[in-house]
Amino acid sequence: MAKVFVEKEGNSRLRLANNTARTVAKDDFVILGGISGVALEETRAGFVGAFHVEEGLVLQIGQADFATGASFAWNAPVFYLPDGTFSNTGAAGAFLVGQVTEQLASGVVRFAKYFRAYPVT
């Protein structure tokens, strides 16, 4: 069996390379590799930045970031679409990124973010 050294426990933030080919602004939702996160700082393409990545992080999204026709019910899946919007349904190119914890109220939905971003095929 391989032995490992635990360097950090309970990571809520990680420094990751921005491989999106665009500058990521502070508070942008992103998928880097297979990890979903929220930028803690502006990070230019090809550079390393800090990102909130923890499982269960509760995020708020407003109607301006909903995909056309999206409706979010309690416990509904949350998908991140290639156009940068969120939906309750996934299609090719989308990622499953969380689950609704509070449905629409005053134009806002809250969801618990998954650590991994699961691609829809």
Asked if residue 100 is part of any domain, the answer here is yes
Asked if residue 1 is part of any domain, the answer here is no
Q: How confident is the model at residue 111 (pLDDT cuts 50, 70, 90)?
A: very high
Q: pTM (2 decimals)? A: 0.89
User: HSE (CB half, 13 Å, CA atoms) of 119?
Assistant: 8
How far apart, in whole angstroms, are the C-alpha atoms of residue 116 and residue 36? 6
One domain for residues 101 and 79: yes
> 60-72: b or e for each residue (b if 16 or more CB lie within 10 Å)?
ebeeeebbeebeb
- Tens digit of pLDDT for each residue in 29-86? 999 999 999 999 999 999 999 999 999 999 999 999 999 998 899 999 999 999 999 9
One domain for residues 69 and 20: no
Asked if residue 28 is part of any domain, the answer here is yes
> Which of 52, 77, 99 represents a domain boundary (last residue)?
52
One domain for residues 48 and 70: no
Q: What domain count does the chain have?
A: 2
How far apart, in whole angstroms, are the C-alpha atoms of residue 8 and residue 32? 20
Asked if residue 93 is part of any domain, the answer here is yes
| Whether pLDDT at 26 is above 90 | yes
One domain for residues 71 and 100: yes
Give me the domain span that covers residue 113.
Answer: 58-119
